[in-house]
Amino acid sequence: MCGIFACHNHPDVVKFKPTALKLSKAIRHRGPDWSGSVTCHNTILCHERLSIVGVESGAQPLTNADESIILAVNGEIYNHRLIRKSLKKPYHFKTASDCEVIIPLYMEHGLDAPKHLDGMFSFVLYDKNLDRIIAARDPIGITTLYQGWSSEQPGTVYFASELKALHPVCDKIESFPPGHIYDSATGERIRYFQPSWWDGQRIPEKPADLKLLRETLEKSVRKRLMAEVPYGVLLSGGLDSSLVASIAQRETKRLRKLAEEANGSAFEQTGDADRGEGLVGIDDENKLSTMTFLPQLNSFSIGLPGSPDNEAALEVAKFLGTKHHVMTFTIEDGLNALSDVIYHLETYDVTTIRASTPMYLLSRKIKAMGIKMVLSGEGSDEIFGGYLYFHGAPNKAAFHEECVRRVKNLHLADCLRANKSTSAWGLEARVPFLDKEFLEVSMNIDPQEKMITSERLEKYILRKAFDTSDEPDTEPYLPESILWRQKEQFSDGVGYGWIDALKEHAERHVTDEMMKNPKPEWGSDIPDTKEAYWYRLMFDEHFPPSCASTVMRWTPKWSKQTDPSGRAIPIHKAKYNDA
């Protein structure tokens, strides 16, 4: 991940520049490798870089040949090689960066440029000749982006990867909507991402093609191995992260075999095997290109001592043959980190904070090992209705509508968690389940096949797609016990004592009297539990009320529970006693 800060139409941009650099520095954790800025006319673009692709030449902001177009990007463009080949007009690329293709795309397609991108991205582009700034965010909002305004400078518009870079100068801030593009020429944001499944009212009727489902997810993971730095996988031991790890391990083995066939011994010729300096990989046509891997795929899990996730993750790692790293944390470790977690997450949502704290702690350990990119399993539960509350869906129409709603809101929940928990330490998380092509396949399946019954466990069709028990010539993807393991939300899986401790400590910090007298500035957004109240108080220590409008509180449907934990659902094997 990288960090971007931009300001357009400022009345005195030269005088504002020191402030802009200071605000950009506030998000340097996202991109600790290099900093850059460009000032032009009334506009400034700042960039904090985490180098993953084009390591030696991809410093930003990027410019075209005559420097009339300036670009700052956060993200990865997986189809950049195909775009370079398909441009209608010759373009002189200055770098090997995957992000530079956005400039010639804009020159050829204008505001339609994001439609051609396959990846996760937020970018701000300034066209000097037209004195025009455009900003865009990837279809699902895997990368974070905010837009802000100041009442003191009504004509000025600001953009940043995180709230902390905007609230010192903006009194109005919005989460930039995923799949949209902003044009300063009109002052409007337009939705460019218009997939067939976007309207939740249209109920798909296609039967599940399990072979296509498997192949499309495999392709999605393959794309996301594009890197020039060592990478790993987050492995909770649940279905989603285990599938991603399994596919990544297969692909790593396949690439190593291809490299050895092509070069005799890739590591002997291109680097030190122990340090993972051998550069091999894939391009859009599955040909060798650029990717760094260690002799073994690294996998990582975290939990309290004896946690369900760590035990399951060890089982998966042993089965796959990954080099697994188990991190245990104490309840005190988690509690001590809470304020910092909320500062980095920029939310007070209970579910997000519960799950982000262990992910935040784990990310620090991973980055300390020299890993800069990890694959993660976010998105699957929204696509396939995997949360236990989906058991309560009354019919397939309601089931599908909720799936669509959840996917649309991922940028305010799990994507925000994955992005900010990792980028707090300069680590990048990639999420294969949210690939555009995979979404097109999976979101157009008849929801009747996704519904949970007494015979069908949650995410049944995904499990079945990777069940090779009737394919004697195919190596199993996962152990049977993992492939058919009951859904465990991450905040539960790290150890049931974690949520219990959070509730207990909230009781000590928030009194009944406080619950009866919430802050007037909270308006109608009143916390309904002491835990939620406690988090809101910590959020207020870091951010002004203007930032609260960017927060969405995660709540399950078709359930009377007030606690969003999966363990609060009565069908959970280790449910709360009072559920």
Q: What are the C-alpha distances in Å from 442 to residues 155, 210, 483?
A: 43, 10, 18
Q: Token digits for 268?
A: 């002997």
CB atoms inside a 10 Å sphere around CB 288: 17
> Cα-Cα-Cα-Cα dihedral of 24, 230, 376, 466, to 10°?
160
- Binding-site residues: 98, 234, 302, 376-377
Q: Determine the residue type at 164.
A: K
Whole-number Å distance between alpha carbons of 134 and 145: 13
- Distance between start and end Cα atoms, the chain: 39
- Residues annotated in the binding site for L-glutamine, as ranges? 98
H or E element, residue 422: helix 414-423
- Under DSSP, the state recorded for 486 is P
Query: With b meaning 16 or more CB within 10 Å and e meaning fewer, what string describes 220-234?
Result: bbbbbbbbbbbbbbb
Q: Report yes or no: 105 and 69 within 8 Å, Cβ to Cβ.
A: no
Question: In Å, what is the CA distance from 88 to each residue of 10, 93, 111, 151?
Answer: 35, 14, 17, 43
Contact 68, 51 (CB under 8 A): no
Give me the numbers of helices (H) and strands (E) for the chain, helices first please: 19, 17
Report the C-alpha gap between 534 and 464 in whole angstroms.
Answer: 42
The DSSP element (H or E) to which 357 belongs, if any, is: helix 350-368
Please indicate whether residue 2 is annotated as part of the active site. yes
Sheet of 298-303, strand order = 323-328, 298-303, 231-234, 373-375, 428-430
Sign of torsion over alpha carbons 32, 33, 39, 40: negative
Q: Which amino acids are annotated as binding site for ATP, given as ranges? A: 234, 302, 376-377
514-536 burial, b for 16+ CB within 10 Å, e for fewer?
eeeeeeeeeeeeebebbbbbbbb
CB 408 within 8 A of CB 141: no
Spatial CA neighbour of 192 closest among 259, 274, 121: 121
State CA 439 to chain mean position distance: 15
Residue 300 host element (H or E): strand 298-303
Q: Which of 2, 7, 403, 547 is catalytic?
A: 2
Q: What is the dihedral of CA 416, 422, 428, 429, to 10 degrees?
A: -60
What is d(CA 327, CA 172) in angstroms, rounded to the nearest whole number?
Answer: 40
Number of neighbouring beta carbons within 10 Å of residue 511: 12
Beta-carbon neighbour count of residue 31 at 10 Å? 25
Catalytic residue ranges: 2
